[in-house]
Amino acid sequence: MGGGYTPASLYAMHPLDPQAVIRAQKGDEAERGRLLAAIEPIVRSFFRARIGRVPDVDDLVQNTLVRVHRGLEALENPERLKAFSMKAALFELQDFYRGRYSARESLYDPDIPPSDPAGVGSAGLRLDLERAMDVLTPHARRIIELRELGFAYAEIAETLETTEAAVKMQVKRAFERLREVLTALVLAILAMSPSI
């Protein structure tokens, strides 16, 4: 759990008060420390609310505070500290989504093309995939895109205002549909190939 807050009686001014922000900007290290300490539980609660109580929250909080720390001097209007901190947290959250599944993907390396017994070649495969995508419903495409953008199925369901089970069902159907289409395309290419 992150820390709480310091009783106001110890300080004359709230650390998020614009005057306190100005002091932090002007080099008052104690004030800067208080400001970051005051923001820390806010961003922690925010990240927990958005992605749950997962270990990644610690990294997101740390990185957001680094963004705030580094950008504080450039903050022209100290009244805008909330918006400034919010943007730091939102940028960080998008970075998190972008890299979310990279470690897991390395387990099966989707970037390695599948076996190619028909000798279709990568250009043919790319074309097949483009044509295969066309057979998907717009809803299924949205789901696949959101997944590749780093969102968990539960988050996709929340975004699309449906259930996680419904989202997973759509993914399974897309998979089956693509399998049928890709198999048919490969067979067609095999039939047309003079070398086979």
Partner 1 sequence: MSQSFDILALYDSLTPKERAELDRAMEENPTMADAFGRWNSLRAEVRRELAADLPDRALLVLYALADDDVLDADEQARLRAGSANLAVAMDRHPGLVDVVQRIHGDREAFEDVWAAHTAPNRQEKALSEDRPPLRLVGPQSPARWVWRIAALVTVVLGSALLVHIAMRDAGFETIRASELMAVDLPDGSSVQLAEGSVLMIPQEGRPLRQARLMRGRGLFDILRDEANPFKIETPNADIIVLGTTFGVEVTDIETEVVLASGIVELASHADRDAPVRLEPGQRSRVLSLDPPSEPALADVNAELSWSGDLFIRAERMARVAEYLSEAFDLPVEVGQDLANEMVSGTRFEREAGLEAAVQELALSLGAEVVSLEGGGFRIAR
Of 74-113, binders to partner 1 (CB under 8 A) are: 76, 80, 82-83, 85-87, 89-91, 93-95, 98, 101, 104-105, 107-113
CB 156 within 8 A of CB 146: yes
3 touches partner 1 (CB under 8 A): yes
Positions 7 through 36 that interact with partner 1 (CB under 8 A): 7-9, 14, 16
Please, what is the minimum distance in Å from the beta carbon of residue 19 to partner 1?
Answer: 15
Compare residues 10 and 191 and give the one whose CB is closer to partner 1.
Answer: 10
Pick one of 21, 32, 34, 46: the residue that binds partner 1 (CB under 8 A). 46
CA distance 52 to 114: 35
Please, what is the minimum distance in Å from the beta carbon of residue 196 to partner 1?
Answer: 17
Point out which span in 21-29, 128-136, 188-196 binds partner 1 (CB under 8 A): 128-136
Count of residues near partner 1 by CB under 8 A? 80
44 touches partner 1 (CB under 8 A): yes
| Other beta carbons less than 10 A from residue 174's beta carbon | 20
CB 41 within 8 A of CB 5: yes
Please, what is the minimum distance in Å from the beta carbon of residue 181 to partner 1?
Answer: 10
Q: CA 129 → CA 105, 114, 135, 156, 182, distances in Å?
A: 19, 12, 10, 23, 8
141 touches partner 1 (CB under 8 A): yes
Compare residues 166 and 182 and give the one whose CB is closer to partner 1.
Answer: 182
Pick one of 62, 131, 176, 193: the residue that binds partner 1 (CB under 8 A). 176
